[in-house]
Chains A and B, each alone.
Chain A
Amino acid sequence: MAKKISLTIDGFPITVDEGTTILEAARMYGIRIPTLCYMEGLTPYGGCRLCIVEVSRNGGEPQVVASCTYEVQPGIEVRTNTPRILRDRRMLAELLVASAPNVKIAQDIAARLGIHNVRFRFEDNRCILCGLCIRMCFEQMGGHALTFAGHGAWRRVAPPFDKRSELCKQCGGCERICPGTQIPCQGVKPEGYLCGGCAMPEERIYCCPTGNPGCFCELNPL
């Protein structure tokens, strides 16, 4: 049997198996931490940083860490919603939605964190560089047909050497998992708003399959 580790998340005492990440532990107990590049069954990547939490030991200076890659340790105190974390997370969501305003998951994350106005210039990127497609291809489909290319602001997802790889089985796993392929908000957008759905609920909503604006239900994969 795995060793048990006791810790607190937002003040609640929690006991989980050794090797569990903070994110898994929190979700097990129903504590919500937003994520973008995390997907159960794929290796945690730690790239989007939306799942950041504060971790402190013995009341010490709290550290900001990504909960998806941080394995629990005995006695740590985790806080998922401090003012500092919320400020950081909102800024990350703002950066994300400014770079990909037409990607549904970016819209959803921003809307959920209460961001209506973006202070940066909009770009129209369709890829949010979450790396889900690459991990899906590599880890679940046994293909090595996709990778990251370029660096810094010029990073992009591409097949090796920009040619369709012979290793690609055309399984479509990458496409299926890509959050960018979901149909973005189709609602009428008032001036300066990112997403019309929640701002003008009287208009017809396409963004959620249930038809309930702003429900953030299970079908809305945040």
Chain B
Amino acid sequence: MKTPSESAVSLHPQLEALKKAGMELLYPPVPRITVGTAACGLASGAGEVLSAIQTAVKKHNLNAAVTAVGCVGFCQEEPLVDVLLPGRPHVFYRHMDPKKAAALISELSEGHLPTDNALCQFPANGHSPLVDLGIPSHSEIPFFAHQVRTVLKNCGFINPDSLEEYVAVGGYTALWKVLTSMTPEQVISEVKQSGLRGRGGAGFPTGRKWESCRKAHSPDGIRYVICNADEGDPGAYMDRGLLESNPFSVIEGMTIGAYAVGASQGYIYIRHEYPEARKHVENAVAKARSAGLLGSNILGTGFSFDIEISQGGGAFVCGESTALVASIEGRRGEPRDKQHLRTVQSGLFGRPTVLNNVETWANVPLIIANGPDWFASLGTQTSKGTKVFSLVGQVQNTGLVEVPMGMSLRQIIFNIGGGIPNGRSFKAVQTGGPSGGCIPEHLLDLPVDFEALSSAGSMMGSGGMIVMDENTCMVDVARYFTAFLMEESCGKCLPCREGVKRMNQILTDISEGRAKESDLALLEELACVIQDASLCGLGKTAPNPVLSTIRHFRHEYTAHILDRKCPAGVCRALVTYSISPDLCKGCGACVSACPVGAITGERKSPHSISQELCIKCGSCLDVCPTKAVVRV
């Protein structure tokens, strides 16, 4: 883990006071016990663990600081509890439940640091991992060892609701530096020099966007900055992780951006489905405002900027810039043609507007604090810095991972992710959400940057990475994504509304064995037309899952259409289950497992499946001890 160098600028006295208070909270003279309670942690029971710890601390009369923090990113091991003894490194405990947590506290109250359920140690306040504890260092855990955590550095360590703790880990030094020693032009030039590109998916250079906005004519001088937290890709939760774990970094980034482009009002557009993130952001905005870090005359420098939170209504398309702007304005969230008037020239309420993704904003303070050269030293020639991915699907270690741009997909999936579980083999990885594509095994050495992923028919997207194993049917994957987009398209333009619906119909036909050979050509033609003719980015990228699966897995399509077979055994209409009489011992396990009573047979003699009754759920296959059930 790289540590950003401390800024040389002396801090505002108020920030110094916050920092001092934060250091006392972060490194108290008593044990600090923290529980990761982001939405992912809460879902796996962190709320119960937290209250069990609080009860146990009271019961044992242990003098300890118990705090809820955000998410460290290792979803697989949640709920995670971190114990920080004074003068020692952090120790993480995994898979905690109320019982284990109570046991942990009782051991701590006796003065032991237990090793049961310990995941790893993290350095804290200059204290490196101790070898004699018998707990591995974070650098020995593959999930952490290969990551470069800069944006996520403090996630899961600091209390997301505490401004003091954020300042204590170096927060707001960048803003203070900007407000006291830099002109807006210098800020823009540093961001340009860093090579930061938008993390929302399109990869537009952030500095250039800011510059266009600053130069754009505004009739009354009003400009806006917006944070796009309408993260809707299935399986992607980078922005939620950041907002629930370190919301102040996003707010600081937006404040710096506002100073650079000359805005005095900002909006954070959070999707409706993120109530926890919204709670944390609302709290952070209120704290920053009461500390004078938002509002008029920030830190007495004469610069004024405030943030309003706007909540989406659950439409995926509102992540598109013009639709998002329409939604904040209170209109129907649908895109408009922007060939002429881009958002930077005429965005929110017709004023020049900078719209950046959560992760982009969170990168800004780091660039200012550590210098553009530090940022540009990470990553590849055209894609600088790091990128957070949410690694999900058929992979050993799921979670939020942050890697430098240019790392290969193979390294991410096999080194950090630990490969495919249950001894199965890898089939494809889907990057970029529903607008992205599926990348097959032979392209796994592709470096992760904006250009390389596009050339493979996928895209960077906001950072979702869904790993699929051999039991995944690629036709079914394409069908799933077109069904998602069919619902989430706004329906304004004909190619996206009607075209995606027809793609879904054709794919359903293919997966149900009704398709003709000519349907594949029709599907390809239709996909190309939707790409060409659609109004907004959603439509233009909607055919990507279809085109990329046809490109890399055409044999699966032809198997469905010509042989009426689903090679992965997923498409129910194309598979049949039967029992091999030679292997069946007549144990009856399948009979009791079958939900529809389709299996009959005398005990200790071979059973058989009635094809009329069978609903192809596969329960018999899962329970058969002799592997006599065959799926063809």
Residues of A bordering B, CB below 8 Å: 36, 46-50, 52, 64-66, 69-71, 84, 87-88, 91-92, 95-96, 98-99, 119-121, 129, 147-148, 150-155
Q: Which of B334, B337, B522, B526 contacts A66 (CB 8 A)?
A: B337
CB contacts under 8 Å to A, within B453-500, are: 485-495, 497-500
Inter-subunit contact A84/B532 (CB<8 Å): yes
Contacts of A71 in B (CB 8 A): 340
On B, residues with C-beta under 8 Å from A are 315, 317, 332, 334, 336-337, 339-340, 485-495, 497-502, 505, 518, 522, 525-526, 528-529, 532-535
Contact of A148 (CB < 8 Å), options: B485, B491, B493, B535:
B491
Q: Which residues of A contact B332 (CB under 8 A)?
A: 147-148
Nearest B residue to A147, CB-CB: B332
- Give Cα A168 to B595, complex, Å: 55
Chain B nearest CB, measured from A122 CB (Å): 12
A58: min CB distance to chain B, Å: 17
Query: How many residue-residue contacts, CB under 8 A, span A and B?
Result: 105
Other-chain contact of A151, B488, B505, B528 (Cβ < 8 Å)? B488
Q: Closest CB of chain A to B166's CB: distance in Å?
A: 38
A70 vs B487: C-alpha distance in the bound complex, in angstroms?
Answer: 28
Residues of A within 8 A of B500 (CB): 152-153
Asked whether, in the complex, the Cβ of A70 is within 8 Å of the Cβ of B339, the reply is yes
Set B339, B488, B535: member contacting A152, Cβ < 8 A: B488
Write the nearest CB–CB distance from A145 to chain B, whole angstroms. 15
**What's the Cα separation between A155 and B315 when bound, in Å?**
13
Q: Roughly how many angstroms separate A64 CA and B495 CA in the complex, as a whole number?
A: 13
Q: Are B532 and A153 in contact, CB atoms less than 8 angstroms apart?
A: no
Closest A-B pairs by Cβ, 10 of them = A155-B491, A69-B337, A95-B498, A91-B529, A46-B337, A152-B489, A49-B533, A153-B501, A64-B532, A88-B529
Q: Is A87 a contact partner of B495 (Cβ separation < 8 A)?
A: no
Interface of B, helix, strand, loop or mixed by DSSP: helix
A91 touches B526 (CB 8 A): yes
Chain A residue contacts of B336, Cβ below 8 A: 46, 69
5 chain-A/chain-B pairs, Cβ below 8 angstroms: A92-B495, A95-B498, A151-B317, A152-B500, A153-B486
Contact assessment for B497 and A120 in the assembled complex, using a CB-CB cutoff below 8 Å = no
Known contacts A153-B486, A153-B491, A155-B491, A49 near B535 by CB under 8 Å: yes
A101–B120 alpha-carbon span in the complex (Å): 65
Please judge, given known A-B contacts A129-B491, A147-B332, whether A69 and B498 are in contact too, CB under 8 Å.
no
Apart from A95-B494, A152-B487, A155-B492, 8 more pairs, CB < 8 Å: A49-B493, A64-B533, A66-B535, A99-B498, A148-B492, A151-B315, A153-B486, A153-B489
A129→B497 contact, CB < 8 A = yes
Report the separation of the CA atoms of residues A42 and B495 in the bound assembly, to the nearest whole angstrom: 22
